[in-house]
Structures are given as C-alpha cells and as structure tokens.
Amino acid sequence: MYKFLSLTLISLLTVFGQYVIAGGRFERTISRPFRSLLTVHNGMRWGSWGQKEMCPTGMYATGFSLKVAGMWESLLVGDNTALNGIRLHCINPSKSSSGPYEDYATVQSDVGSWGKWSDIKWCSSGFLSSFQLRVETYQGTWDDTAANNIRFNCSGNAEMLKGSGMSWGEWGDWSEKCGGKGICGIETMVEQPQGVGDDTALNDVRMHCCD
C-alpha cells in the first residue's frame, strides 16, 4: 500500500512537472523568462535584494497578500517595521476566468521577520499590471519604517487594488504598465533584523512581466 502511495505521488509530481501541490494549492515556483521589469523610484535602500521568484509557466499574478506589522505588535517590539512581505498569487487563465480563485500558485521573494499575512485581494478579471509603493523616507533619529503599503492596477478593467498596509510615508509614482500579459514574478529588498538597531524590513520591490 505504501509503495502504491509513493508511486502515485511520484506520478502526480511528474504530471505537474515542477509544480508541487499541497492542499489544492500550487506552492512551488520555477524559473521563467520575462519580457519586462517594473520598478518605482521611491523605495529605500536598507538591506539587499532577495532571490527572484516567478509564477509557474502559463500562470500570471492575479492577486496579492501582504505581511504587515501592525501597531500593537510594533508597540510590543518597540520598533515599527510596517510592510514586511509581499506574496503574488498566480492563476492559469485557461482554467479560470474570474476571481476569487481556488487554484493558484503562491510566490514571494525575501520577507521580513515581523507581522501577519493579510487575506488575498484578487482582480475580478485580468492580471496585476502595474504597482505603486507607499514609502516613508529617512526619519533621522526617529523610527524608520521604509515601505508601508502597495497598490496594483488590474489589466482586465480600471480596477485598482490597495493593500492593507500602514499609512506612514507617501505614495510614489506608478510603475510602467506590463509589456506583456501581466506580472509574473517578484523581487524584494529586505533589511535583516538589526538587533538593538532600527529595523525597517521591506524597503523596495520590483516586478517581472511575462508574455
């Protein structure tokens, strides 16, 4: 029996290639060529860029969720870090046409150490196509938080999705729009924990677009 289950699992992994399914969710990413890179100009520069992570081939980011350190957690820790992580949730458009979606791939780059993940915000149609970052600039001797929140435009209509981040800082300019079908990958700049120093967690993000 156990041998049969093992063979069945191997068969599933072979059928789905490098996708690994856990609880109905495509969880693993694969490397993928991209057409364009979206950036914004207001990100901060504490930390380093994490590894690029891409949606599986044929899938595009249609939703996102955020890891945010809220006010109460920040008070307990004694340091505000605000936005700590961004997840992209990717769907196969040949299998799904409108959100919310049940089968999707989850991809993320580096993530900060604080906060909780929010619920997923989905485009009602189309894919994530451009983004805007809310960032607090250098505060001198006061507490720095760097990136606080993010907004995305959806390609299917005029819909704009706003994350449930914090409100320090200002919204910067929008990135360019995707030079392909939609956003398919992400890289984040994250500052590692500073010990007794001032922590900022996520500082900047850039998105990849695929045909």
pLDDT digits (tens, 9 = 90+) for 154-179: 998 889 999 999 999 999 999 999 99
Structural domain contains residue 18: no
pLDDT digits (tens, 9 = 90+) for 9-40: 333 333 333 444 444 455 456 689 999 999 99
Lowest-pLDDT range, 146-150, 154-158, 168-172, 181-185? 154-158
Q: How confident is the model at residue 71 (pLDDT cuts 50, 70, 90)?
A: confident
Domain with 56 in it: what CATH number?
2.100.10.20
Using a 10 angstrom Cβ sphere, with 0-12 exposed, 13-18 middle and 19 or more buried, the burial of residue 50 is middle
Domain that holds residue 149: 36-210
Q: Which residues contact 203 (CB under 8 A, 6 or more apart)?
A: 43, 44, 45, 46, 47, 146, 147, 189, 190, 191
| Token pair for 137 | 């600039």
Structural domain contains residue 14: no
Are 45 and 91 spatial neighbours (Cβ–Cβ below 8 Å)? no
Structural domain contains residue 66: yes
Instruction: Give me the phi and psi of 27, to 5 degrees please.
Output: -105, -25
pLDDT digits (tens, 9 = 90+) for 100-137: 788 999 999 999 999 999 999 999 989 999 999 999 99
Structural domain contains residue 6: no
Structural domain contains residue 17: no
Query: Residue 73 pLDDT > 80, yes or no?
Result: no
E strands, the chain, are: 21-22, 25-26, 36-38, 48-49, 53-54, 60-68, 83-91, 105-108, 116-117, 121-122, 128-135, 147-154, 160-162, 170-171, 182-190, 202-210
Structural domain contains residue 205: yes
Residue 195 vs residue 211, higher pLDDT: 211
CA distance 67 to 81: 11
Structural domain contains residue 1: no
Structural domain contains residue 179: yes
Query: Residue 76 pLDDT > 80, yes or no?
Result: no
